[in-house]
Structure 1
C-alpha cells in the first residue's frame, strides 16, 4: 500500500518492548524470618490502689466486704489510709479512701460505687 502524501511512514517500525531503565533488583529473601512479638515499652501492671468515696452507713468492714468479699479485711483499707483516718470507727461521709487492689481477688469493682 502506497503512502499517502502528507502522512508519516511507519513501515519500518518494529514491535516489542525495550527499556532504558536499569534492571529490577532481585526480590528479597525472607525465608529465614521468624514471627514473634517484642516490645521496648515498659510492662504496664494493674493499678495497685483504687479509690472509694464514703457514703452514709459505710464502715470499713462494709467497704471491705464490697471490695474484697470479706469484711475482716477492713484493716487493709485502714492501713492504706492512715494519713486520712486516725480512728477506724470514725470515717466521714464524702471522705475519699484508697482501696488497695487485692492481687488474688476476683471481685474488683471498676469504679467506686
Structure 2
C-alpha cells in the first residue's frame, strides 16, 4: 500500500461573480436568415460527354454558341485551355441570359 499523501481539497471554496443579467427567455422574433449559394450565381452544372466542346455545350445549355467564353470563365479553377475538356468532367454553368 502506498504511503503517498493525497491532496486535501476539503477546505476549498469557490464563488462566481458575474455582471451578466439573468435572461428569462431569448427573443428570436426579429431574427432572419439568408443562404448564399453559388448555385444561384452559377446556374447549374453539366457533365461533359464524348464529342462535346464548350461552344456545343453553350448552344445546348445556354442557347448561345458564343457563350462558351462564359462557361470557360466560370470554370477557370478546373480549365486551363478551352479546347481541353474531357468526358466525365463536371463544369459549372453560368446563368442563362
Superposed pair shares fold, TM > 0.5:
yes
Match of 1:52 among 38, 42, 46: 46
Structure 1, unaligned runs of 5 or more: 1-39, 106-113
TM-score by length of 1: 0.50
1:93 equivalent in structure 2: 87
**Counterparts of 1:43 and 1:92 in 2: how far apart (Å)?**
32
Q: What SS class does the counterpart of residue 48 from structure 1 fall into?
A: helix
Please list every run of at least 4 consecutive aligned residues from structure 1 whose deviation after the TM superposition is greater than 3 angstroms: 40-46
Q: CA RMSD in A?
A: 2.2
Match of 1:66 among 60, 65, 69: 60
Decide which structure has greater helix share: 2
- In the comparison of the two structures, how many residue pairs are matched? 65
2:17 equivalent in structure 1: none
Structure 2, unaligned runs of 5 or more: 1-31
Residue 42 of structure 1: CA displacement?
A: 3.9
**Counterparts of 1:65 and 1:92 in 2: how far apart (Å)?**
18
TM-score by length of 2: 0.58
Q: Larger Rg: 1 or 2?
A: 1
